[in-house]
Amino acid sequence: MSARDLIDPESRVPLDAMLQALPGGVNSIPDIVQRRAVAKTMAAQRSRPEYPNVTKEDRTVPGPAGEPDITVRIYRPAGVPGPLPGVYYIHGGGMVRGGVELEDDSASLICDRVGAVVVSVEYRLAPEHPYPAPVEDCYAGLVWMAENAAELNVDPERLAIYGVSAGGGLTIATALIARDRGGPALSFMMPIYPMLDDRNETPSSYEITDVGIWDRAANIEAWEWYLGGKEADQYAAPARAEDLSGLPPTFIDVGTVDLFRDEDITFAQRLMRAGVPTELHVYPGSYHASEKYSPDAALSRRIWAARIDALKRALT
């Protein structure tokens, strides 16, 4: 049986349509520049919800010491008195593609439904900018957000960090850096199907080879580009971290038809053993980013409802 046979039927419809239009999926395009362009075009073709009560502002803020400035997009719920909870948002894309614009809908949804100020960071991408550039950009943006909490109308006691896929791995890595450098205090962490382990040794990393979204070959390639020949440490691949104590309360979700399934479940168990309050959701039939490809599916609605509920409980 193929892994694709295990996908939730409703969620599989847009996946099959995408693969019919582009056999092999976006990650089958060899050239990374072309791959990014095609992914951006496909994302632009999807219907996008409107959030009239959310305002947006792009701003250039200081990057890591001695490195270029970075761009952040700030989302604010209109007419909501503060100070408000803050959510620092890190986009996905396997460390090699993606951007603030491609996850504008998700950041807007969180801002609107949680009533939080969301700051989404545009970090540098591999292979042009391998590790540690992406995670150092993410940490610099978090420091800026925390230091400017008053101006942003953010309550510094209610600051969460959220990221999907590669952004989920960067979420945990950024939290580890904040812990180890005595940086911003985080009250909550929500890494969504996070990309955590460069070793590609789990059963699910061998099972997911033909789904067409984020399969084994794409993951191996992305890790090679991200590491750029360096050995992975805990800030590159958080699955390698030996000490998980002191991290903020955590919510993780992942699908059963996701290559990251087993590394995410293992990491959640390790957080629990380290004394970190951890909520784990594993969704039968969900593939990588299925809630983005099939936002109207009943499964996707359940996924988002659980995330929003957890953020509200943690922050409000």
**What are the residue numbers of the active site?**
165, 258, 288
SS3 category, 200? coil
Say if residues 215 and 277 touch (Cβ distance below 8 Å). Answer: no
Q: Do 249 and 191 meet the contact criterion of CB atoms below 8 Å apart?
A: no
**Considering Cα of 297, then 250, then 172, then 238, what sign does the dihedral take?**
negative
Neighbours of 58 (CB within 10 A): 12
The pair of three-digit structure tokens given for residue 61, joined into one six-digit string: 């803020």
CA–CA dist 213, 215 (Å, integer): 6
Is residue 84 exposed (0-12), middle (13-18) or buried (19+ Cβ within 10 Å)?
Answer: buried
CA distances from 143 to 22, 37, 70, 121, 178 (A): 40, 31, 12, 12, 9
The residue assigned the tokens 């399934």 is 261
Angle, helices 9-21/298-315, rounded to nearest 10 degrees: 110
Helix (H) or strand (E) holding 284: strand 278-287
135, 177 contact by CB (below 8 A): yes
Q: Give me 134's structure tokens.
A: 């992406």
- E strand or H helix that includes residue 84: strand 84-90
